[in-house]
Structure 1
Amino acid sequence: MSYGKHASLPHHTLHPRKGLGMPRGFGLLGKLLIGLLILLVGAYWMLQEPERLKTPGRVVESALNTVNSALGGNVCPNPHPDRPALQYGLMIDAGSTGSRIHIYRFNHCHGPSPSLEDEVFEQLKPGLSSPTFNTPEEAADSLDPLLRLALKHVPEDSRKCTPVSVKATAGLRMLKDGKGDKILEAVRRKLKTQYPFAMVEPNGVEIMPGKDEGVYAWITVNYLLKRIGQEPRLPTAAIMDLGGGSTQIVFEPHSSDPMEPGDHKYELRFGKHKYVLYQHSYDGYGLMQGRKRIKKAGVADNKFPCYAVGHTDTYTDDDDQVHHMEGTGSGHEECHAFIQQNLFDKAMCLAPTAGKSKSCSFDGQYQPSLSASFADNDIYAFSYFYDKFAEPFGLVASEKGFTVGELRGAAEKVCSGKITEKELATTAGAEAAELFKDPEWCTDLGFMYGLLSIGYDIPDDRILKTAKKIAGMETGWSLGAALNVVDGWGQEGKGMCLKEVPPTT
């Protein structure tokens, strides 16, 4: 079976084989019926092909069906002399609700940087942190179906130079009494003793730091935009990812505005170039946590300007005390002022080094000014910026993106109740009714606008872009993490298992 494509089917013929002739007098109608039957059988098997891509109970899906394949089924005729023609990479995303594997296939036909050919992935539930597992070994065993899939798709003579990484997120971090560490150690033992792939050291199996998640997403986006990994060097895009619990920002400040030293500084080499990035992950400033922060600030007088008039809600504080809140229907301006006063503290900025001007985002976090050091480059905003704003307001298909002021305009319209369900249905489609009835929508839009305009100090006329996929690929961190490993291995010569990799068939 070819990698990322459906298997080819036998070519049926309308001519009978010798010795299997049709009865005399069968007639034209009979032949036509036989031909129709053959076509129906062929169509049936083509439709059933995805079923043959299943492991028990799980469907393997191809996210990229050999888009822009450089090989076309043949060995690359002139691969880079210091790189393998084909290079596989395995990335396992061990999330809180499930695990999924990404099996990437790259080639080195266009220079030293890897070119993505295709991806196969599978996901399963529950995640490694699930209480259904009685021992760390049981949790590690849950990854076996994913790893067996990798054995199926990675050629045997390429496995020993195929890097495998397991990156866990918040689920394992929340486990107590060292259970998360024990599960990861069981996963390490499994990879080392039961599978032939090359485990990445020293951080191949780990709970992924927030800064890495942001940087890997930056690699993914800029790679898919063709801003990195090729010549000449091009300006890169910034990313802002708004999740539920945290938000990340990563960008490459202009070299004329050197950064202050600190953990925010991330040096990365990709291809022939070095990138000095600013990155920070704000824990507790994701959209869901942002809601909680706003409500916590609003319990003082039980009046809440970010809710419609008459809407009531409750907030449970850290001491399990329940507070009742009532919306005032004051509109976006009062909601924005409330958020500015209570959420994004701009007064705690640390003193700069000698000769440098003060530059902060919020909560005392140093950040180079986007207006000064990143004035002309693209900024991409993902996740809830897409789901709660760009998609329902019909801004996804716009190549020019949207302005921060358009987000403010949407918040004003929603918070004032001036948008109708019918009007929303023209852009939001099936999600219109759910969004229209969501009492948190005004709060969410207000938080997003506050984060951009107050927190990051981005003016209303600045254009941002958004996407769920670029070039058919998801904009998450997994591809960037795999690229970071594969490109590094290529530079170190670890991927040169074979002088030539046979073509896949």
Structure 2
Amino acid sequence: MEAPKFPTRPPAARFFSFPVKNPSSAHKPHSRSLWLSIASSVVFVVLVYLAAASRSPPPPLRFGIIIDAGSSGTRIHVFGSKGESGAIPSLVPGSTAVMRVTPGLSSFSGDPERAGASLEDLLEFAKGKVAKDRWRETEVRLMATAGLRMVDMGPRERILESCRRVLRLSGFRFKNEWATVIPGSDEGTYAWVAANYALGSLGGDPEKTTGIMELGGASAQVTFVSSETLPSEFSRMLTFGKTTYNLYSNSFLHFGQNAAHESLRKLLYSRDIKTSDVSRQEGTLVDPCSPKGYSHGGNFSECRSTALSLLQKEKDNCLYQLCHLGSTFIPKMQGNFIATENFFYTSKFFGLSPTSSLSEMMHAGEEYCEQDWSKTKKKYHSADEEDLSRYCFSAAYIVALLHDSFGFPLDDKRIEYTNQVGDVEIEWALGAYLVQSMTKSSENADWVTAMIHGDLVLLLLVASALLVLTAWLVSKWRRPRMKTIYDLEKGHYIITRAS
């Protein structure tokens, strides 16, 4: 009997010529094609995205509303601006508007519930300046200043709550904490921002910025970049772009023009200030700060001396190495300054140029104080007599404040009296809007937004890598694992799925 015949192993040459010497080799052409397709798609997506980003439309116009609740009236400011998130906004010509009503919120201290109604006309004005479909995204903030700061806490809070009720129903975006009384130092800081924005120096070299001095009705503010080490209560660190500014900012409550004039008259009545020409004559008040023939006044020098006594009244309480104004610390006045509000109005009344020296202000005040009241009324026949009676004090008070207290030389030309630079009104409300806009952009930017604005290409590369990795994992998961075996029955090698 013959022995059984077993299949013989094919020659080695034939084995190595077999088309699947490596089980995975059958998939290589398909794999290369897959990866080339994925890579091409990624590159295409990146290029399309970059092209679309470069041609994307400019950011839409943004609106904001600031209500300046001052001592003598309330103003509503509507601002429209454009600009990239995180950048200093750029005001759009024709998109800003302002409206004022009187009296101020502080006048409602006796009837706080009526305060909110005083805002209704202002809000209707704003609605006419902002498209209706933008109301809900337009923030409205009420910021009260010195007038309300002097009101007692109880009535002050009831006034604010009355205003909040109206603002919540205004149709604009509003939160309760957006109606508040701001510190005087914030008011000065915002005014500094507005001035340097108008001058084009915001975000630039600190030494090339301009300080600002405001003379309001109830308070005065001074803000400027200082190289000195400042007490913490007067120091404000402000950052725009890559530049940080060390600001001295201070508000002098009760030293505004109207408040100071009222304080002076009270002192005259009480005889707390005694000078050679200040006394009672037959029951009539002799006021050196009135024009000649009005309250028996007309003495500029005496008025200046009286104003200085008022400004330095608290000097004995100074807790610092040197106090230039009462008990308040003021560093050396560095750089150039813009003087706004009543500084500007007084300069304009006397016909002085914006860069007039304090010596010119003094001479104009002397001439006005010593001019007979009847001639003054005839010369300014269309002006209110009460307003006319105060310009003698205004000039003397400015000289006493800027020269005798702050230390500006009489011939100094560093001060410009103006409320406007170019087409931009220099008001603290503008500075508040700019600061709030940039703060909002910073708070709303998440990490994705930050990456997009910081390094768009890096973000796209990371996303592309994730896409390729995902595709590779999917292809590995779906590809069957194969193996090559020798089939004894068929007498040749076959390729089959691995278990």
TM-score bracket for this pair, using the shorter chain length? 0.5 to 0.7
1:71-128, CA deviations, whole angstroms, 9 ceiling, x for partnerless residues? xxxxx97678xxx442211112234565442221100169811001121333445655
Q: Alignment partner for residue 313 of structure 1, among 285, 299, 303? A: 285
- Which residue does the alignment assign to 2:336? 378
- Which residue does the alignment assign to 1:167? 143
Listed as ranges, the matches of 1:36-51 within 5 Å are none
* In structure 1, C-alpha distance between the alignment counterparts of 2:196 and 2:238, rounded to whole Å: 13
Q: Alignment partner for residue 265 of structure 1, among 235, 258, 263? A: 235
* In structure 2, C-alpha distance between the alignment counterparts of 1:304 and 1:438, rounded to whole Å: 25
Cα distance change on mapping 1:447 and 1:310 into 2, 3 Å: farther
Deviation at 1:185, TM superposition (A): 2.7
Deviation at 1:403, TM superposition (A): 1.3
Please say if 1:120 is aligned against 2:78: no
- Which residue does the alignment assign to 2:350? 393
Cα distance change on mapping 1:430 and 1:123 into 2, 3 Å: closer
Please say if 1:407 is aligned against 2:384: no
Deviation at 1:477, TM superposition (A): 1.8
Moved more, 217-226 or 284-293: 284-293
2:319–2:327 Cα contact (<8 Å) kept:
no
Deviation at 1:450, TM superposition (A): 0.8
2:225–2:248 Cα contact (<8 Å) kept:
yes
Deviation at 1:462, TM superposition (A): 1.4
- Which residue does the alignment assign to 1:290? 260
Deviation at 1:351, TM superposition (A): 5.7
Q: Which has the higher contact order (CA 8 A, sep 6+)?
A: 1
1:306–1:327 Cα contact (<8 Å) kept:
no
* In structure 1, C-alpha distance between the alignment counterparts of 2:385 and 2:162, rounded to whole Å: 43
Q: Which amino acid aligns with 1:181?
A: E
Q: Which amino acid aligns with 2:139?
A: P
Q: Which amino acid aligns with 1:365?
A: T
Q: Which amino acid aligns with 1:120?
A: A
* In structure 2, C-alpha distance between the alignment counterparts of 1:345 and 1:78, rounded to whole Å: 62
Please say if 1:492 is aligned against 2:443: yes
* In structure 1, C-alpha distance between the alignment counterparts of 2:102 and 2:373, rounded to whole Å: 39
Cα distance change on mapping 1:109 and 1:79 into 2, 3 Å: farther
* In structure 2, C-alpha distance between the alignment counterparts of 1:143 and 1:328, rounded to whole Å: 41
Deviation at 1:287, TM superposition (A): 2.1
Cα distance change on mapping 1:177 and 1:404 into 2, 3 Å: closer
Please say if 1:219 is aligned against 2:193: yes
Cα distance change on mapping 1:191 and 1:235 into 2, 3 Å: same
Please say if 1:278 is aligned against 2:236: no
2:70–2:146 Cα contact (<8 Å) kept:
yes
- Which residue does the alignment assign to 2:426? 475
Greater Rg over alpha carbons, structure: 2
* In structure 2, C-alpha distance between the alignment counterparts of 1:224 and 1:265, rounded to whole Å: 23
2:237–2:244 Cα contact (<8 Å) kept:
yes
Q: Which amino acid aligns with 1:279?
A: S
* In structure 2, C-alpha distance between the alignment counterparts of 1:122 and 1:491, rounded to whole Å: 30
1:87–1:106 Cα contact (<8 Å) kept:
yes
1:245–1:285 Cα contact (<8 Å) kept:
yes
* In structure 1, C-alpha distance between the alignment counterparts of 2:284 and 2:397, rounded to whole Å: 19
Identity of aligned residues (%): 29
More helix by share: 2
Q: Secondary structure at the match of 2:67?
A: strand
* In structure 1, C-alpha distance between the alignment counterparts of 2:352 and 2:422, rounded to whole Å: 18
Q: Which amino acid aligns with 2:193?
A: I
Cα distance change on mapping 1:350 and 1:477 into 2, 3 Å: same
2:109–2:156 Cα contact (<8 Å) kept:
no
Deviation at 1:345, TM superposition (A): 5.0
Please say if 1:443 is aligned against 2:393: yes
Structure 2 unaligned blocks of 5 or more: 1-53, 288-293, 453-499
* In structure 2, C-alpha distance between the alignment counterparts of 1:130 and 1:297, rounded to whole Å: 24
2:112–2:155 Cα contact (<8 Å) kept:
no
Q: Secondary structure at the match of 1:223?
A: helix
Q: Secondary structure at the match of 1:459?
A: coil
Q: Secondary structure at the match of 1:244?
A: coil
Deviation at 1:196, TM superposition (A): 5.2
Deviation at 1:289, TM superposition (A): 3.0
1:414-434, CA deviations, whole angstroms, 9 ceiling, x for partnerless residues? 344499959x96xx8965x95
1:194-227, CA deviations, whole angstroms, 9 ceiling, x for partnerless residues? 35543367x4111222222222222222211222
Listed as ranges, the matches of 1:227-242 within 5 Å are 227-229=201-203, 235-242=208-215
Cα distance change on mapping 1:250 and 1:173 into 2, 3 Å: closer
Deviation at 1:360, TM superposition (A): 2.3
Q: Alignment partner for residue 218 of structure 2, among 236, 241, 245? A: 245
Cα distance change on mapping 1:180 and 1:77 into 2, 3 Å: farther
1:310–1:326 Cα contact (<8 Å) kept:
no
1:269-293, CA deviations, whole angstroms, 9 ceiling, x for partnerless residues? 2344322211111122222333344
1:90–1:162 Cα contact (<8 Å) kept:
yes
* In structure 1, C-alpha distance between the alignment counterparts of 2:440 and 2:316, rounded to whole Å: 42
1:346–1:360 Cα contact (<8 Å) kept:
no
* In structure 2, C-alpha distance between the alignment counterparts of 1:121 and 1:341, rounded to whole Å: 38
Q: Which amino acid aligns with 2:161?
A: E
1:216–1:481 Cα contact (<8 Å) kept:
yes
- Which residue does the alignment assign to 2:402? 452
Listed as ranges, the matches of 1:39-118 within 5 Å are 84-95=59-70, 98-108=73-83, 112-117=87-92, 118=95
1:166–1:204 Cα contact (<8 Å) kept:
yes
Q: Secondary structure at the match of 1:247?
A: strand
Deviation at 1:394, TM superposition (A): 1.8
Alpha-carbon RMSD across the aligned residues, in angstroms, is 4.3
Q: Secondary structure at the match of 1:248?
A: strand
Cα distance change on mapping 1:164 and 1:288 into 2, 3 Å: closer
Q: Secondary structure at the match of 2:236?
A: strand
Please say if 1:179 is aligned against 2:142: no
* In structure 2, C-alpha distance between the alignment counterparts of 1:483 and 1:405, rounded to whole Å: 36
Q: Secondary structure at the match of 2:329?
A: coil
**TM-score, normalised to structure 2's length?**
0.64
**TM-score, normalised to structure 1's length?**
0.63
Deviation at 1:347, TM superposition (A): 4.9
1:85–1:109 Cα contact (<8 Å) kept:
no
Q: Which amino acid aligns with 2:337?
A: I
Q: Alignment partner for residue 325 of structure 2, among 357, 362, 376? A: 362
Listed as ranges, the matches of 1:188-227 within 5 Å are 188-192=164-168, 194-195=169-170, 197-199=172-174, 203-227=177-201
Q: Which amino acid aligns with 2:401?
A: L
- Which residue does the alignment assign to 2:492? none
Task: Count the aligned residue pairs.
Answer: 383
* In structure 2, C-alpha distance between the alignment counterparts of 1:130 and 1:265, rounded to whole Å: 32
